[in-house]
Amino acid sequence: MKRFLPALLLPLILLTAGCDRSSPITPSGKVVKIGFIGPHHGSDQDQGQNTLKGVRAGQTIIPLLKNGDRIEVIAEDSGNDPAATRRAMQKLVQDEGVSALLLGLNSQSLLQVMQFAESLQTPIIALTATHPDIVSGSTFINQLCFNDDTQGAVAALFVRDELLIKRAAVIVDPGDPHSKQLQTAFEKKFTATSGILTGSHPVTEMDKELLLHLQAQETELLYLPISAQSLLQEQSTLEEMNWSPKIMAVDGLLASVLGQFPEQAGNIDGIYATDVFSDSGDFVRHKRLGRAVEASFDGLFEGEKNTFTGLGVEGYAIVLYAMNQCLPAPDRQCINTAIRSTRNFEGTMSKISIDSSGRASRPVYVNTVENGLLDSVVKVY
């Protein structure tokens, strides 16, 4: 099975460029700059590197605005450090004069630099950060993903309505605001629908004894809004216990496992996970056009396409779409307004809207992980 990105890229490109294949764009000789910031090393390097690959793929296939201006993407390393992230932002905005910023940062990293980012008065698309506070009261920060409140509530409703599970426990990373927000959203919706919470524990305290306690409480499912590394550790302990509760994980799980622990990808087969994409989603409508670009995209980079690369392509495409609304001389304020006026934009797998507060609206896929792919179970609008 081909992964989702190449099969659906061409229609996205054509729509973004606002042109058709019979009307090539003549280069103007001018350059417009876009900045990218994400971790190039450390525990989140797979997220930063893969979102940048998606951005570069979009740049390669859509290099020009409608007026012929060439797009230049300048990438900087956030280093998983707030001070380094602020320096990178300042360099790109003030020294390089970028028209917009694409951020491959997680929620915790972006929340730490929000105020500084806002002070730069430059349109920002948060490619992967899902915490709702990222756009709370913000003027220039925009989300590309659904937020954690939506994702957590969808997971809880799926567990209750589709899996018919009544008893569940949550394992959370208390130091990660993304994890904590998902915990709150899941528990609120799960208990509101008559679900019974058999436990809510920090991942730092999880051991075999505590899991045995949850098993004794007749726990049917574990909700794990935790890192890929922590989830794999919990899964290993469960196998030692010969206990097989259902597991619900969160966005980016498969992409993170494939990026950080590819040799353990088979260990998460059968796990449910919410995500912005699926490998078995709605291909039919785009299939004819998708084949035309598949070979060229596959030649750009080594490795599999995944959630992070898909978000990189979409973020780049939406920025170009906004810029094309602001020609002949797109300024930052116009671009930001255009981003926040995005309605029913054809993303790689579903339509995306971004409202005046910078909050994105898009479907949530509930998938099962099977053989290194995200197999769609349900798509929630």
Digit-coded pLDDT (tens) for 144-158: 999 999 999 999 999
Q: Are strands 196-202 and 221-223 parallel, antiparallel or unpaired?
A: unpaired
Lowest mean pLDDT among 51-65, 113-127, 231-245, 261-275: 51-65
Asked if the model's pLDDT at residue 201 lies above 80, the reply is: yes
**329 vs 197 pLDDT, higher one:** 197
- 201: CB partners within 8 A, 6+ apart: 169, 170, 171, 172, 210
The rounded distance, in Å, linking the Cα atoms of 84 and 77 is: 8
Convert the pLDDT of each residue in 359-381 to its tens digit: 999 999 999 999 999 999 999 99
The rounded distance, in Å, linking the Cα atoms of 262 and 250 is: 18
| pLDDT at residue 300, as a whole number | 56
234-251 burial, b at 16+ Cβ within 10 Å, e below that, comes to bbeebeeeeeebbbbbbb
Lowest mean pLDDT among 2-11, 85-94, 126-135, 236-245: 2-11
pLDDT bucket at 44, cuts 50 / 70 / 90:
confident
Residues 140-146: what's their mean pLDDT?
A: 98
pLDDT bucket at 16, cuts 50 / 70 / 90:
low
The first and second tokens of residue 155, run together, are 């997971």
In the predicted model, what is the mean pLDDT of the chain?
Answer: 89
| pLDDT at residue 26, as a whole number | 93
Lowest mean pLDDT among 31-40, 125-134, 175-184, 304-313: 304-313
Residues 255-278: what's their mean pLDDT?
A: 95
